[in-house]
């Protein structure tokens, strides 16, 4: 994607928690007049990698040695194809409950581990169930 002045319908979400984010990048993004969203802190409650498939793979993966990249790809392919349709249906059906647990009572904030909370800024359709976005802009992850 081109970072040009014409792209005012985009929001930028970049991981600004890392100290290596360059000052020139921050300054340039400010000149674009885009809304820069803070990157959420890690939480196992909202991590997309905690989805049902990856959790089931992790149990087997811990004891699986790989000798090559091809071995890894073949193992992942066979692991995914070995799951029946009901496995995926159940995972999709349980997502709203996982979202409710992550959001908690205060629907304007996500419940983060150790009691920390962060404001919500994205759309409900995304895995991180933000709900207060100002407009239907595309979010650019950097």
Name the domain count of the chain: 1
Enclosing domain of residue 88: 10-114+137-141
pLDDT digits (tens, 9 = 90+) for 35-94: 766 655 555 555 555 567 777 887 778 788 888 999 989 998 998 899 888 988 888 888
The CATH number of the domain where 48 resides is what?
3.30.420.10
Alpha carbon distances (Å) from 4 to 1, 7, 95:
9, 6, 37
Nearest CA-CA partner of 51 in 14, 13, 87, 15: 87
The helix/strand/coil state of 92 is helix
How far apart are the C-alpha atoms of 103 and 120, rounded to whole Å?
10
Q: Tell whether 28 is covered by a domain.
A: yes
Q: Tell whether 83 is covered by a domain.
A: yes
Q: Tell whether 80 is covered by a domain.
A: yes
Contact yes or no for 73/49 (Cβ under 8 A):
no
Q: Tell whether 125 is covered by a domain.
A: no
Q: Tell whether 69 is covered by a domain.
A: yes
| pTM, rounded to two decimals | 0.39
């Amino acid at each position: 994607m081109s970072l040009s002045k014409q792209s005012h319908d985009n929001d930028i979400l970049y991981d600004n928690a890392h100290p290596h984010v360059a000052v020139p990048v921050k300054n340039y993004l400010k000149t674009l007049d885009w809304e820069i969203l803070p990157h959420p802190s890690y939480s196992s409650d909202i991590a997309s990698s905690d989805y049902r498939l990856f959790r089931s793979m992790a149990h087997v993966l811990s004891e699986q040695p790989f000798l090559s990249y091809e071995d890894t790809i073949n193992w992942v392919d066979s692991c995914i194809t070995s799951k029946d349709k009901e496995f995926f249906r159940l995972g999709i059906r349980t997502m709203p409950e996982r979202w409710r647990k992550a959001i908690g009572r205060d629907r304007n904030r996500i419940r983060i581990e150790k009691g920390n909370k962060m404001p919500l800024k994205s759309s409900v359709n995304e895995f991180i169930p933000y709900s207060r976005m100002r407009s239907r802009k595309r979010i650019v992850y950097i």
